[in-house]
Structure 1
Amino acid sequence: MKSTFSLIVLVTSSVGIAFATSQYPVCIVGAGPTGLTVANGLESKGYSTVVFEKDPEVGGKCQSYYEGDFFHPMGALLFSNETYTETLPIILKSGLPFQPFAYTSKGWLFDWRTGVVNESPVSAADVYPLLKPDIDRYIEFWNSNIGPNLTTIGYKNGIPSEYTVSFSDWLWENQYNPELISIFEDGMVPYGYGDVLDTPAHPGYVIDRSGKFPIITYANPAGSEATQTCSKVILAFPPVSHALEAANLQLSAEEQEVFSPVEITKYWSGAIQVATPNGYAYSAVAFEPAGQLSAYLRLFDASPIATTWSWGKTGSKQTTAQAKKLLRSTISKFNKDPNNATEIPQPVTEEDVRQFEEWDYFPHYNTKDLEAGFYDKFNKLQGQQNTYYASGFNGFETVEFAIRAGQDIVATYF
C-alpha cells in the first residue's frame, strides 16, 4: 500500500567538473521517468541532485500491483521498438524483463449499462487489410510532416492551426476511412488519452522561491521537518493547478496564466480479480466519459487478476470511490465465461478490488489555447525563479515523451 504522507529523498553527487559545481544541489520534485532521467543526465554533467518523491516507490505512473509471482501493470503496459527509441535503451540497460505482445483474436464488447456482452464481429487482423491503404497514407504523412516538425519537446517550432483541431475532425477533413477513427479510439481511450472527439499532490512539502535560492521544506520519513536549499528546482510532474498549489508554490501571474487552462483526463486503473477467462480482451461497445470501465485484460493464465482502465469526463468532480463503485457494478453484470449462457455472473466484491488508482493523466491544452500559442508561453517560463517544468505535458503522455522531456531540460538549460 502507498502512503501519501511519506517522502523519499534520493541524493546523488558528482564532483570534478568546474562548470557544474554549486554550493547547493539541483532539486527534482518527482521520481517518475522524467525526474529520474533528469537526475541521471545532470549527474553525468557533474551536478549534485536531490530527488523528492511523495510515494514509497519511485516510478511515477509506472506502478504495478504484485500478487504471488505476477505483476499487474497499473500504468505503462506496452512499448514498440520503432517508436520508443529513448525508452528501449533504458529497458535493455536496466535488465528489465519484457516479452512480445500481440492480440489477434476478436475480443469481447460489453455494454456497461446493461451488461450485455457480444463477441466482436471482426479482429484487428480482419480489419487491417481493409485499412492498409489509409494506414500507409497516415504513416507516410506522419514521417513527412509530424515526425520532423512536431515531435520537438515543448513544441518549440509552434503548432500549425490545422493540427489544433480534434483528431476525428482532422481524419474526416483529410478523407480517411471512418473505420480508422474507431481503431484510433480503441487505442486511445482505454489508456487515458480521452476521446478522439476531444482531444502528485499532497501536503508533504513546501517550495519557497521568494529568496535567491529555492528552499524545500519537507517531512522526512521519520515525520520530522527538514529543509533543503536548492540551486534550481525541477518540477517533474504534470503542471496542473491543484498539484502546483499542493506544493505550496506561490505562482507568478505568468505561471497562473499558463497553467490554469491545463486540463487532465479523469482516469483510473485497477487490478481486479475476475471470473472471465484469460485470453479474452474486453472493451466497451461505445466509449463514454462517465467514469465507467473502458477496457480490461487478464495477462496471465495462472492469475485471475485483470488490469482495468476507467475513463471520465475532463474537469468532472467524480471521485475515486464513485469510479470504483461503478467499476464493480459494471463487471458484476458479466463476470463469467461469456460462452456459457447458463452460468450466473459473480459479483465483484470489495476484496476483489486489489488496487484502484486515479492519475493526473494526459495534461493538455484545448484547441483555443493551442491556437493562442500557450506552448510558447510555457517555454518562456523555463528557468524563471530558478524553476523548470518537465513531464509528459512537454510532449505527450507516454513514458517515451516523459523521458525525452527530462533529456530536453538537461540538454537545453544545463
Structure 2
Amino acid sequence: MSIKLFLYPLILFSLSLKASDLRIAIVGAGPSGLMAAHTLKKLGYKNITIFEKEDQVGGKVHSFTYNNNAYEMGAVLLGDNYTSVINLAGELDVPLSPFPTGLNFIGVRGEVTNFIDDLLHKHGLMKLFGAILHYKVLTHKYGSIHTDLALAHPDLFENFTTFARINHIEPLIDLFKPFVTGSGYGYPEEVPALYVMKLISWPLIKSLFASYIKLGDKILYFKEGYQKLFIKMAQNLNVNLNSKVTNIERIPGNDGTTTIYLTAGGVTQIFDKVIISTIPKTALNFIDASEEEEELFNKIKTYRYITTTLQVNDLGNKSLFFKNNFNRSAFGEVLILLNLNPTANLFVSYQFDSLDPIPSIEERGGSVAEILYQKEWDYFPHFTKIDLEDKPYRQLNKLQGKLGTYYVGGTLNFETVNDVLSHAKKLIMEKFSK
C-alpha cells in the first residue's frame, strides 16, 4: 500500500476535525446567509451560528399569510432558469407552481390594456423583435457579468437608457421598465446597464414570452409562500432570532489567524470566521471597519422600497402595472398591484419611498378598503456609474477572507434570490472546501 493511500483516511479525519472545530458566525438569516450555512454544513462544518435581528428568517423573502393565502412582500417570481432556487426547492421538497397572473397596464383614467399588445402598438412587431434579437447578441458579448460582476465591461457602466440608444435597442427601454423599476431596481435612465442585463437575462426574456403565448409554464412562484423555502432550510441550522449584532471586533494574531469577538443581545462570543450577509454599508454600524472597508462600503447606494398588502375595490382582481408611473417624475407612486389569488381582491402594492399607496389607486378609479400589512426595505445595493469606474467589485473580491471576514448577499452579485444563492454557495465552496 502506498504512503498516500495509507495517509488518506488520516488526512480526511484531520480535515473533518478542523471543519468541526472552526467557529463560524453568520450575520443575517436571509437567503445568502442561510445558503452559506447550508453549504458549510454539507462540507462538514458543525460549529456555525447565525444571528438574525428579526423574529423570522428569510430577509427580503417575506411572505405575509392571510386567510391561508400568501402575499409576497419581497421576492415573488422566478424564471425556469433560476436553477439555484429550483434546485433548492427540489432538495427541500417545497413545491413550485406556474405564475397565475397576466401582464396588464392600467392608465391614469383606469383603462386596462395588455402589456405586450401596448408595446407592439407603439414600436411595431419588426422593430420590437429586432431589438430583442440584438439584445441576445449583447447578452453573449457581455455575458461575463453572470460569472462575476468584477468582470463587467465599462460599456455597462452607462445608464441603460443611454446604453440602449447606443446599441439601437430603444424599444427595450419600454419592455424592461415594468420589470426593472417595478421590481425596485430604479429607473433605466439612472441605473447602469450592468444591473439591467444582470436582471434580464436572455433565458428570462424567453420565459416571459413563452408564458405570454402559452408555451409552457416558464414563470414560477411558490403558492404556499416563497418564505417557506427558507423557513424549511433554517430548520436544520443554528439560527438565533431576535439577535441583533451590535459589535464585531477582529483581532489578528501573530500566526496569521484572527480572533473575532461578536456581540449580539448583550452577549459576546468568540469566533474564528465571520460571514456578513447584510448590506456591507449596514455592517459599518457594528464592525470595526478598516479605512478601505469604510470608504468602499459608503459608496453603496440603495432605494427605500415599500410593499403593502391591501384590499382594493373597483379595479377587478387582475395584477396591474401602473402605466405612467415608471418614470422618475412619478417617484413615490404605486408601480404594481400584484394579485396571486384572482378569487380575491387582495393585492400587494410596490412603490419607492412612500408609505401611502392610496392616492395612486384612487386616481385610477379604485378604492382601498383596508391596509393589512406593510414592509419597508433598504433595497437594491448598487454602485453608480462614477463609482463603477473605480472597480468596486474587484475591491470587494479582494476583501474576501481578510481578518477572517467574508461577504455574501445582494451587494456582491445582484439582489435576486437566485443570484445571492449561487454566489453564497460558490464563495463557500471556494474559500472553505480547501
Regarding TM over 0.5, the answer is yes
Question: What letter is aligned with 1:39?
Answer: A
Q: Residue 140 in 1 paired to residue 137 in 2?
A: yes
In 2: Cα distance, 1:299 partner to 1:197 partner: 30
1:254 is matched with: 292
Deviation per residue, 1:116-137 (Å, 9 max, x gap)? 32333x5315646442222122
Corresponding position of 1:197 = 189
Report the CA distance between 1:19 and its aligned residue.
Answer: 6.5
Q: C-alpha deviations, 1:290-338, integer Å up to 9, x for none? A: 32211112221333220111024xxxxxxxxxx223x1233234453xx
Task: Answer yes or no: is the 8 Å Cα contact 2:55–2:242 preserved in 1.
Answer: no
Partner of 2:110: 117
Write the distance in 2 (CA, Å) between the matches of 1:203 and 1:410.
Answer: 23
Specify which of 132, 151, 155 is matched with residue 146 of structure 2.
151
2:415 paired residue number: 397
The letter of the residue matching 1:254 is E
Tell me the amino acid that sits aligned with residue 389 of structure 1: Y
The Cα shift of 1:152 comes to 1.9
Deviations 1:324-377 (A, max 9, x none): 23x1233234453xxxxxxxxx3x36xx22121111211111111111212111
Per-residue CA deviations over 1:261-312 (Å, capped at 9, x if unaligned) read 1101221111111112112414141324432211112221333220111024
Please give the per-residue CA displacement for 1:214-266, whole angstroms capped at 9, x wherever unaligned. 122111xxxxx3232111000012212xx2233x2121100011111110122
TM-score, normalised to structure 2's length? 0.76
Checking the alignment, whether the CA contact within 8 Å between 1:20 and 1:45 is kept in structure 2 is: no
Give the corresponding residue for 2:359.
329
Q: 210, 216, 222: which is aligned to 2:262? A: 216
* Counterparts in 2 of 1:123 and 1:185: CA distance versus 1, 3 Å: closer
Pairwise CA distance, 1:24:
4.3
Q: Residue 178 of structure 2 aligns to which amino acid in structure 1?
A: D
Per-residue displacement from partner, 1:89-108 (whole Å, max 9, x unpaired)? 11222222322126556431
Distance change >3 Å, CA 263–CA 161, structure 1 → 2: same
Q: Which secondary structure state, in structure 1, belongs to the residue aligned with residue 111 of structure 2? A: strand
Q: Any unmatched runs of 5+ in structure 1?
A: 1-14, 111-115, 220-224, 313-322, 337-345
Residue equivalent to 2:301 = 263
Partner of 1:301: 342
SS at match of 1:194: coil
- Number of aligned pairs? 357
Cα distance in 2, alignment partners of residues 19 and 376 from structure 1:
33
Q: Please list the CA deviations of residues 175-199 of structure 1 after superposition, one character each: whole Å capped at 9, or x if unmatched.
A: 11x3321111111111110001111
Match of 1:283 among 310, 318, 322: 322
Q: Identity rate of aligned residues, in percent? A: 26
Provide the aligned C-alpha RMSD in A.
2.4
Q: Confirm or deny: 8 A CA contact 2:75 2:417 kept in the other structure.
A: yes
Q: CA deviation at 1:88?
A: 1.0
Instruction: Work out whether residues 236 and 390 of structure 1, in 8 Å CA contact, stay in contact via their aligned partners in 2.
Output: yes
Report the CA distance shift for 1:134/1:151 in structure 2 as closer, same or farther (over 3 A). same
Selected match of 2:395 from 377, 383, 403: 377
Distance 2:37 2:155 in 1: 37
1:245 partnered with 2:273: no
3-state SS of the aligned residue for 2:77? coil
Q: Does 1:227 align with 2:268?
A: yes
Higher mean displacement: 73-82 or 271-280: 271-280
1:180 is matched with which residue: 172, 179, 182? 172
Specify which of 22, 26, 31 is matched with residue 33 of structure 1: 31
CA–CA distance in 2 between the matches of 1:201 and 1:266?
23
